[in-house]
A = this chain, B = another copy of it.
Amino acid sequence: MTAANKPLSAEDSLIARYFKPLATDPGAFNLDDDAAALKGAGEDIVVTTDAIVEGVHFLPNDPPDTLARKALRVNLSDIAAKGATPAGFVLTLALRGADEAWLKPFAEALGADAAHYGCPLLGGDTVSTPGPLMISITAFGRVPQGKMIHRSGAKAGDRVVVTGTIGDAALGLDVLKGGVAAGALVADAGARDALAARYRVPQPRNALALAVREHASAAMDVSDGLAGDLAKLCAASGVSAIIDVPSVPLSQPASALVARKVVGFDALITGGDDYELLCAIPDNRLASFTSAARRAGIAVTAIGGIIAGSSPPSFLDGQGRELTLQRLSYSHF
């Protein structure tokens, strides 16, 4: 009595063909069971979940391979920020239909990332939807018992450190939508492509997870904008912060757009989709953390300090004047 247009095997064979090769972990049971098993090893299992929706978190014409990578990487970024080692993920895919020309590159890219980050597919659910494509991933990591790094835990005197560069993904989205950055970079395809790639394919900092676990008093990833995410970290920790805005690391294209006044610093630190790590590092751990980051090949930059207090973080320009931000970060509703 429920709708059924095709025989049993259609959905199953589709899943088998494209997703079984990704289920490399013995606990995935080759996707032949109703559930997966994460082996008990005395460690805590860190669990995070992030969904991306067509037209909301990605553009309808984003290619399937970058979507696959983005969907997994936004979760890997959370795993890294918590100081955990990836252990696997489950995938829920809501599709309008079983378009193999879309599924094949999606699954291949997902598999390549799963292998690269050591985060195998454990299971999932494929459902049909009349609406926008949605990719929901729940990812797992392992940490020694009680060693997950929290948003709370930052102390006055800690340094505020970020990885990589901030604001590129927001500029990349603007480029893809034909906004001001696209106009300003009309003659520079290299910069446009670099920024768009930062939006489409985040670079989660899992190589730094162990250093985060060893040295950070608090950490999270920057997904909704540096300003808003720092405000969340401070609120969870019961502290405030002062950020030296000129210290915030920018890529060359972002820096040039700021210099040309195409965009303001405020747009970059509230833009979102950076998937860099934001950490509070005790002063006496900063050198060790920086060394570990260098060994991991990940740039880290101290951009300010944690202070006592409950006011929102202050963002100071080169003259020590506070930036007024129109909004702190992205909000869905």
Contact = CB atoms under 8 A, between A and B. Distances in A.
A8 interface: yes
Contacts of A322: none
Contacts of A256: none
A39 interface: yes
A134 B36 contact: no
A94 interface: yes
B128 A131 contact: no
B92 A272 contact: no
User: Looking at chain A, what size class is its interface with the partner chain?
Assistant: 35 or more
Given A92-B49, A127-B57, A132-B131, A2 B330 contact: yes
Interface stretch (A78-86, A244-252, A292-300): A78-86
A328 interface: yes
A50 interface: yes
Given A2-B330, A271-B1, A33 B151 contact: yes
A70 to B, nearest CB: 14
Given A2-B272, A34-B81, A327-B8, A44 B40 contact: yes
A145 B47 CA distance: 20
Interface stretch (A104-112, A156-164, A167-175): A167-175
A174 B130 contact: no
A173 B125 contact: no
A176 to B, nearest CB: 10
Interface string A51-95: 111011100000000000000000000110110100000111010
A293 to B, nearest CB: 20
A35 B140 CA distance: 9
A33 B150 contact: yes
B136 A78 contact: no
A36 B51 CA distance: 16
A231 interface: yes
A4 B330 contact: yes
Contacts of A170: 1-2
Interface string A11-45: 11010000000000001010011111111111111
Name, among A98, A150, A173, A273, the residue most crowded by chain B CB atoms within 10 Å (CB to CB). A150
In the complex, the 8 A-B pairs of residues with the closest C-beta atoms, listed nearest first: A131-B131, A35-B48, A138-B138, A98-B333, A38-B45, A1-B170, A128-B332, A1-B174
